[in-house]
C-alpha cells in the first residue's frame, strides 16, 4: 500500500531535510528567546512596581488632623532609631538601637557616629534605648554583654546599664557606670527611657522582662530585683536619691525605687506646670495606659492592667503593698494594646495656646500620635464630659479617632519638644528592618515647601550583625517595642 523510498531518493531529499531541520531549530530557538524575553520583561515590571510601591509607602507623608499644621520630614534612612535628645536648637543626639550615638547638626546627619558602643545586645527590644542630657552630661541606657568601663564583670551575662558621658562640644568621653540592672530572662520589656526631673534627679523606667516577683505583685514571689520599676537616682553617681518613697536606707533594695508594678514602658515625662511624673505603659494584649505617677505608685501589674474594675476578682489587697506604696487607676486606657511609646507635655505655644502644655502620646503599632487635654487640676485628662470617653477607655475606632492628632508615622519611638518650641517625632518601621525617619510638626506655612524632597541619608555600617540578628528578625514581631508578646511569653 505504501511505496518504499529508495536510497537514491533519500539522497535527493537529504538537502531539503537539512534546510527544514535548520529552519525548525532556528524557529524553536527564536520562540524560546521570545518567551524568555517576555518572562524577563514581566519580572522587571513586577520588581519596578514593587519598588515604586515600597518607595511610595516609605515616603508617605504623615497626616495631621489639624488643618493649620503639617508634618515635615527632616531626615529619613535612619537605622533603628530609638531616642533623641537636644543639645541646643541646632544639634540633636540620636540613638540607633545597635549602639551608635549620632549627631544631627542643622538638620544634617553627620557621617560618622559620635560614639559607637561595643558589646551591645540589640535583639528584640534590647539595645541602645534611652538618652537624657543635663548640662555637659549625657546619660545612656543600653543592653550589653560587654561594658563601656573597665572592672565590670561581663562573662556570660547580659545587663541593662545606665552610663553618664561628658560632652565636650565635639565628643562623648569619660564614661561612668551609674546603674547596673538585669536584662532577662525576657529579651522584651526592657524599658529604657530616661528623664531628668525638676528636682535634678535622674528617673529610669525599667521593664519587668517577664519576671514574676514581688515587684510584679506576686506576694510569694522572689524579692525585689530592679525589674518593673521606675528608679530615682542621683545623676552624679547613681546612688539612691534623697526622700525616695520606700526607704532612706541605701542598703535597702527598695531605696532607689520611685514606683513599681510596671509591665513595660517607653515613655516618662514631667508635667512642666505641676512637676509631676507621668508614664505610658504597655499591656499584654489589652489595656495600654497613661498614668500619673505619684511617689510610691504601684501600677498593679501582673494582677491589674487597665482600670481595676476591668480585672474581675482582683482588689488592692491582692497586690504587694510595700510601706509607702499606693495603687491608682490609669488616667486613660486603650482597651486593646497598641504599643504606646513616648509621652510628651508640649511646653510650647507653637501650635497655638490651646495645645500649650497638652499631652501627646505616640504608638509603635500604627504610628498614631494622640493628644489629650489635661483636666483643670492636671491630675488626669479632660474627658469626663465627653459622650464617647467619659469612662476614660478607648474601646472603638470612633473613640480612638476622637483623641487622634496625627497618623501615618509608621511607628513612633520618641516625641520631643525642641528648644525653639517645635515638636519632633522619631519613627521606626518594624516592617522595613527598623528603617526610621525624623519629622517635625509645623504650621502649614512654615518650613520647606510641602513638595520639597526629603533629606535622605545612608548611615555608615555598624559592625556586621552576627547570628543573633537572625533571632532579632524572627523576634521583630515583638520588637514593636511594646504592646505585643513574643513566643517567650506564655
Q: According to the model, what pLDDT value does residue 14 have? A: 52
**What pLDDT, in 10s, does the model give residues 331-352?**
999 999 999 999 999 999 999 9
Cβ(161)–Cβ(180) below 8 Å: yes
What whole-number distance in Å separates Cα of residue 159 and Cα of residue 226? 12
What whole-number distance in Å separates Cα of residue 245 and Cα of residue 140? 25
Q: According to the model, what pLDDT value does residue 55 have? A: 41
**What pLDDT, in 10s, does the model give residues 142-187?**
999 999 999 888 877 899 999 999 999 999 999 999 999 999 999 9
Backbone φ, ψ for residue 424 (5° rounding): -115, 140
The average pLDDT across 272-288 equals 97
Q: According to the model, what pLDDT value does residue 218 have? A: 98
What is the sign of the dihedral through the CA atoms of 444, 448, 450 and 456?
negative
Domains of the chain: 58-475 (2.120.10.30)
The average pLDDT across 412-425 equals 97
Q: According to the model, what pLDDT value does residue 447 have? A: 66
Q: Cell triple for residue 96?
A: 540607633
Categorise residue 191: left if φ over 0, alpha if ψ from -120 to 50, beta otherwise. Answer: left
Q: According to the model, what pLDDT value does residue 21 have? A: 58
Q: According to the model, what pLDDT value does residue 452 have? A: 41
Q: According to the model, what pLDDT value does residue 444 have? A: 84
Model confidence band, residue 463 (pLDDT cutoffs 50, 70, 90): very low
Q: According to the model, what pLDDT value does residue 17 have? A: 55
pTM exceeding the 0.85 threshold for the entire prediction: no
Overall residue count recorded for the chain in this entry:
490
Q: According to the model, what pLDDT value does residue 430 have? A: 81
β partners of residue 179: 162
**The 3-state secondary structure of the chain, one letter per residue:** CCCCCCHHHHHHHHHHHHHHHHHHHHHHHHHHHHHHHHHHHHHHHHHHHHHHHHHHHHCCCCEECCCCEEEEEEEEEEECEEEEEEEECCEEEEEECCCEEEEEECCEECCCCCEECCCECCCCCCCEEEEEEECCEEEEEEEECCCCCCCCCCCCCCEEEEEEEEECCCCEEEEEEEEEECCCCCCCCCCCCEEECCCCCEEEEECCCCCCCHHHCCCCCCCCCCCCEEEEECCCCCCECCCCCCCCCCCCHHHHEEEECCCCEEEEEECCCCCCEEEEECCCCEEEEEEEECCCEECCCCCCCCCHHHCCCCCHHHCCCCCCCEECCCCEEEEECCCEEEEEECCCCCCCHHHCCCEEEEECCCCCEEEECECCCCCCECCCCCCCCCCCEECCHHHHHHCEEEECCCCEEEEEECCCCCEEEEEEEHHHCCEEEEEEEEECCCCCCCCCCCCECCCCCCCCCCCHHHHHHHHCCCCCCCCCCCCCCC
Distances (CA, A) of 7 to 3, 12, 15, 17, 21: 13, 9, 14, 15, 20
Q: According to the model, what pLDDT value does residue 453 have? A: 43
What whole-number distance in Å separates Cα of residue 420 and Cα of residue 425? 15
Q: According to the model, what pLDDT value does residue 436 have? A: 96
What whole-number distance in Å separates Cα of residue 437 and Cα of residue 314? 42
Task: Give percent of the chain with pLDDT exceeding 90.
Answer: 75
Q: Which of 477, 353, 344 is nearest to 418 (CA)?
A: 344
Mean pLDDT of all residues in the chain?
85
Q: Which residues of 445-455 are buried (b: 16+ CB within 10 A; e: fewer)?
A: eebeeeeeebe
pLDDT(207) > 50: yes
* Higher pLDDT pick, 22 / 440: 440
The average pLDDT across 306-320 equals 97
Q: Which of 234, 213, 235, 216 is nearest to 132 (CA)?
A: 235
**What pLDDT, in 10s, does the model give residues 7-53?**
444 444 554 455 455 545 545 544 554 444 454 444 444 443 444 33
Strands 137-144 and 159-167: antiparallel
Q: 483 CB contacts (<8 Å, ≥6 apart)?
A: 282, 283, 288, 337, 338, 339, 340, 363, 364, 365
Q: How many CB atoms lie within 10 A of CB 229?
A: 25
pLDDT(237) > 70: yes
The average pLDDT across 226-238 equals 98
What whole-number distance in Å separates Cα of residue 267 and Cα of residue 343? 5
Q: 21 CB contacts (<8 Å, ≥6 apart)?
A: none
The average pLDDT across 372-386 equals 96
Amino acid at each position: 500500500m505504501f511505496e518504499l523510498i529508495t536510497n537514491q531518493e533519500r539522497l535527493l531529499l537529504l538537502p531539503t531535510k537539512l534546510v527544514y531541520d535548520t529552519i525548525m531549530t532556528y524557529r524553536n530557538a527564536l520562540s524560546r528567546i521570545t518567551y524568555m524575553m517576555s518572562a524577563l520583561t514581566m519580572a522587571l515590571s513586577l520588581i519596578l512596581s514593587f519598588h515604586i510601591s515600597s518607595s511610595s509607602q516609605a515616603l508617605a507623608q504623615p497626616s495631621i488632623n489639624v488643618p493649620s499644621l503639617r508634618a515635615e520630614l527632616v531626615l529619613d534612612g535612619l537605622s533603628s532609631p530609638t531616642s533623641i535628645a537636644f543639645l541646643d536648637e541646632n544639634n540633636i543626639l540620636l540613638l540607633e538601637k545597635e549602639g551608635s550615638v549620632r549627631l544631627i547638626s542643622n538638620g544634617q546627619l553627620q557621617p560618622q557616629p559620635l560614639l559607637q558602643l561595643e558589646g551591645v545586645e540589640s535583639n528584640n527590644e534590647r539595645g541602645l534605648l534611652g538618652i537624657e542630657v543635663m548640662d555637659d552630661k549625657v546619660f545612656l541606657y543600653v543592653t550589653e554583654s560587654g561594658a563601656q568601663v573597665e572592672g565590670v564583670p561581663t562573662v556570660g551575662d547580659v545587663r541593662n546599664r545606665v552610663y553618664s558621658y561628658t560632652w565636650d562640644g565635639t565628643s562623648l568621653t569619660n564614661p561612668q557606670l551609674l546603674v547596673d540592672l538585669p536584662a532577662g530572662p525576657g529579651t522584651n520589656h526592657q524599658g529604657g527611657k530616661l528623664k531628668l526631673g525638676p528636682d535634678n534627679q535622674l528617673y529610669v523606667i525599667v521593664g519587668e522582662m517577664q519576671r514574676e516577683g514581688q515587684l510584679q505583685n506576686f506576694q510569694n514571689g522572689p524579692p525585689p530585683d530592679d525589674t518593673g520599676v521606675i528608679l530615682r537616682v542621683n545623676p552624679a553617681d547613681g546612688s539612691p536619691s534623697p526622700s525616695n518613697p520606700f526607704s532612706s536606707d541605701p542598703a535597702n533594695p527598695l531605696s532607689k525605687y520611685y514606683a513599681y508594678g510596671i509591665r513595660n514602658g517607653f515613655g516618662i515625662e514631667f508635667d512642666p506646670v505641676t512637676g509631676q511624673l507621668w508614664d505610658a505603659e504597655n499591656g499584654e494584649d489589652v489595656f495600654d495606659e497613661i498614668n500619673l505617677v505619684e511617689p510610691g505608685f504601684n501600677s498593679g501589674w501582673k494582677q491589674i492592667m487597665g482600670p481595676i474594675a476591668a480585672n474581675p476578682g482582683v482588689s488592692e489587697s491582692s497586690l504587694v503593698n510595700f510601706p509607702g506604696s499606693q495603687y491608682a487607676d490609669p488616667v486613660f486606657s486603650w482597651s486593646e494594646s497598641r504599643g504606646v511609646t513616648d509621652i510628651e507635655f508640649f511646653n510650647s505655644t507653637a501650635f497655638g495656646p490651646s495645645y500649650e502644655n497638652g499631652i501627646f502620646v505616640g504608638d509603635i503599632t500604627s504610628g498614631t500620635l494622640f493628644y489629650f487635654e489635661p483636666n483643670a487640676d492636671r491630675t488626669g485628662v479632660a474627658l469626663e464630659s465627653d459622650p464617647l470617653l467619659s469612662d476614660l477607655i478607648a474601646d472603638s475606632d470612633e473613640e480612638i479617632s476622637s483623641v487622634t492628632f496625627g497618623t501615618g508615622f509608621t511607628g513612633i519611638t520618641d516625641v520631643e519638644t525642641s528648644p525653639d518650641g517645635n515638636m519632633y517625632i522619631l519613627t521606626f518601621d518594624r516592617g522595613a528592618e527598623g528603617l526610621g525617619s525624623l519629622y517635625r510638626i509645623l504650621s502649614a506655612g512654615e518650613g520647606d515647601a510641602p513638595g520639597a524632597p526629603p533629606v535622605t541619608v545612608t548611615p555608615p555600617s555598624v559592625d556586621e550583625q552576627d547570628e543573633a540578628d537572625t533571632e532579632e528578625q524572627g523576634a521583630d514581631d515583638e520588637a514593636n517595642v511594646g504592646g505585643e508578646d513574643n513566643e517567650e511569653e506564655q
